Each structure stands twice: as structure tokens, then as C-alpha cells.
Structure 1
């Protein structure tokens, strides 16, 4: 008789259960597969929760691919229903936010495009659509807040000065930085990127809130329009 794979963590011997091992030895002692199994909680009739976690990592090419997976892609994975897909997505979103958490931001001033790229590269390089973020800064170039101001193709019909400067005024910002990604991985600025930058610079000069830079994020590469001369 073939023994069926166990489906829940409770059916795994106590000393081998990821949750109990984490409680006893700490999260650092667990593999990525085991940590993911804790989030998933249960397997299926065909495979244990540990094997399901392993299959999920394999299907998306590892942790980085899984972190950028869409809800629909997660749900289409055998053994992952809507509830599990939402829980997995929520966990990765918390991780992304931790990378850019306020405590970390407040320890440094965003005075260079490299600092801006290092802050947002982890969460923006894998986005599958163009997304534009607004960084509002205080008098010492310290970050006040990051806001999403557009989702989709970046052009002048989407990025209007009022959508940029209204939140900047609300944050009492002294200056701003615009950041958006190129899903192709190539951060080379487009004609629209240059045009939008010039338009926002002019609006900022009129309002009294300087556009310090416009940084474009690619796949582990970035471009500063200020440094590039698209100013």
C-alpha cells in the first residue's frame, strides 16, 4: 500500500514541524520552503504543505519571482486557492514595505539619485506595469512620504502637475522627487519622460516646490534625468 503524503502541518512529526522549529530555534533556522509552508498552513490530498511550498517556489523561479507574482497566477497554482493566494501576496507586500519603512528612510537624507534608487529598486524593479511614485522631502532633503500617483503607461495625460503638487502641498514638502519604473528593464528615458519632467519643473518653480530629480528604475539599473542632462 502506497502511503499518501501528509496534507497539514499537524500531521508532520512534532520535531519536524516548521512552526514548532521556528518557536524553538528562531526563524533564521528555517529554510525558505519551511517559512512559506507556515504561511500556507495546509497542503492538499496529493501533497504535503512542505511539498506544496516547494512546488510554489519552483513554479515562480524562487522567492523573487514569487514576490512579484500576481494574485491570478498564484490562484492558478495547484493547491493554492483564493485565500492562500491573498495571504501569500499580503506577506510579500509587508516585506516590500519593510524595505522602505519609515525608520530606515529617516536615517538618511535623499540627496543623491543613487540613494533614491537604492530605496525603491527592491520594490519597483520587478513591477510588470509602469508605476510612478512621488517622494516628498523636507527642508533637509529627508523623506516625508512616498505616494503612488499613477499606474500604467506614463504620459502627459496621466501625470498632470496637480496630481503631483497637490499631495506635495498636503505634505508641506519643500521639494519632490519623481520615480517611475520601466518594466522592460531598460531605464533609458523616453521623449515623454523628458517632456513630463520639464513640465513638472516649470510648475514647481511657479508653486515654489522644487522638482529635485526624476529617477527611472530598470532591472538593477537606474537613470537620473538630472544627471543625464534631461533637465
Structure 2
């Protein structure tokens, strides 16, 4: 009788585990198959994360694991920006997945940089430019001021992070920007910085430093094409808001 009870309990546990695997899901609901047939944009954050994770853990399929991780971290962005220690401490994650994630993020940045270089950056509202700046700055927890240096055809020469501040402000020195523009033989620049608060608006200080940089760069015949603020998943363009003088 005891043996029979144990057999039933074992069978029940096996049935529960089997029901938990994605192999028993309808094909149209499995993340990989869904992506192939409907495209990546059709997937939820949890489904995209599940494809990256590949496998679940005992008693928890990969989609449910992805949902738990999103709930624990709060968002995909928080997972991407998590420290190695925090990332690897979570059940179902580890060093191998952390390394894989960092490689994916870096490949994404390099792809976006290539796409941006293929476009005319004089069109500073271009999606390629904003996508690239978002990939570089949106996950930063401190304020960073950077510059895209452009040639006389407005093609990208280089992107440099020049100043690092607190969550509230960054000390920006026009002299340094001018020196770097000369160093790279730039004919124009796109200024950019992030707002870790997520507020996509230009502050008075943002406007003041933009004016100072425009005046300083005019002395060496370098044009400021735009100043783009990265806030969360948004970009705020000074040029689009007619705030460049």
C-alpha cells in the first residue's frame, strides 16, 4: 500500500513537471516558434528573456522563470544594467549567462553604431542616431555628457564620453570639448547627455551649457547640430524644439 502511494505521488510529480515544460505548449505559444512566425516584436518581455535564458529550472519552465526574474528585477533594463554579483545571485542565472548577456548588449551597440554611420547625421532626429545614443546612455545610473564628433559631410568620426557627474548634474568644461573637436578634426558635433531620472526635458542648466558650448565651438568654426538628452526610452532634441541659437 505504501509502495502504491509512493508510485502515485511520483507519477503526479512527473505529470506536473511535464505540464511545466514548453514542449507541451501549443506551438503557436512557444517563444521561439512565435518569433519565427510573427517576428520578435510580437513577443512579450518575458518571452524574449526566455529565448535568451534557453532553459528553466527544476519545477519552473523557462517562461515562468523569465517572469519571476522580471518581477524580481523590475524590468528588462534593470536586468541589463545589473552588476555581475547581483545578476549571478539570482536563481537560474550565473556567470555564463552574465557573460552571454554582456556580449549581446555590446553587439547591439556596435550594430547601432554601424547603422548610425551609414546615415546622414545632419538629420539629428534620425532614428539611427537616437537608437545609438539610447543604447549607450539609457542604462547609466549617473549623468554622463558625451559628444558625437562629425566630419564636414556630417558622418561620424567618433563618440566620446567626456564628463561624468552625479545623478543630478555633470560638470562640463567647454575647453575640453574644443580640444577634442580639434584633435578629431571635427567640422560639427552632436552633444548628448542622459537624465537618469527619466525626465525627458531640458533644464535651465542644460540650456546654459548648450549656449556656452555653441559659443566656444564657433571660435573654431565647429557647428553644434543638436543636443540630445537621453531619458529612459526617450530622446529630447534641442534642434527639434528650436532651442539651438
TM-score (norm 2): 0.66
Q: Find runs of 4+ consecutive structure 1 residues off by over 6 angstroms.
A: none
Deviation at 1:167, TM superposition (A): 3.5
What are the residue-to-residue correspondences of 1:30-109 with 2, within 5 Å?
Answer: 36=49, 39-40=52-53, 43-44=56-57, 47=60, 51-60=64-73, 63-98=76-111, 100-102=112-114, 104-109=115-120
2: CA distance, partners of 1:48 / 1:226 = 46
Which whole-Å CA distance do the structure 2 matches of 1:163 and 1:130 have between them?
17
Equivalent in the alignment of 2:236: 222
After the TM superposition, which of the residue ranges 129-138 and 62-71 deviates more from structure 2?
62-71
Aligned counterpart for 2:225 among listed residues 203, 208, 212: 212
With over 3 angstroms needed to count, the CA separation of the structure-2 counterparts of 1:62 and 1:195, relative to structure 1, is closer
Q: Which SS does the other structure have where 2:197 is aligned? A: coil
Q: Which moved more, 1:137-146 or 1:220-229?
A: 220-229
Choose from 151, 154, 178 the match for 2:164: 151
1:115 aligns with 2:126: yes
Q: Tell me the secondary structure at the aligned position of residue 207 of structure 1.
A: coil
Q: Take 2:55 and 2:109, find their aligned partners in 1: how far apart are those partners?
A: 25
After the TM superposition, which residues 157-196 of structure 1 pair with which residues of structure 2 at under 5 Å, given as runs?
159-196=172-209
Cα gap change, 1:85 to 1:140, in 2 (>3 Å)? same
Output the CA distance in 1 between the equivalents of 2:131 and 2:235. 13
Larger Rg belongs to: 2
Name structure 2 gaps, 5 residues minimum. Answer: 1-8, 24-30
| Residue 228 of structure 1: how far off its partner (Å) | 4.0
Mark the runs of 5 or more structure 1 residues left unpaired by the alignment.
14-20
| Partner Cα distance (1:143, 1:215) in 2 | 15
Which residue of the partner structure matches residue 135 of structure 1?
Answer: 148
Distance of 1:62 and 1:226 partners within structure 2: 30
Contact 1:113 1:224 in 2 (8 A): no
Q: CA deviation at 1:227?
A: 4.4
- CA contact 1:178–1:215 (8 Å) conserved in 2: yes
Q: Does 1:28 align with 2:36?
A: yes
Q: What RMSD, in angstroms, separates the aligned Cα atoms of the two structures?
A: 3.9
TM-score by length of 1: 0.69
Matched-pair contact (CA < 8 Å) for 2:225–2:239? no
Alpha-carbon distance between aligned partners in 1 of 2:149 and 2:164, rounded to the nearest angstrom: 18
User: Alpha-carbon deviation of 1:40?
Assistant: 3.9
Measured in 2, the distance between the counterparts of 1:224 and 1:162 equals 21
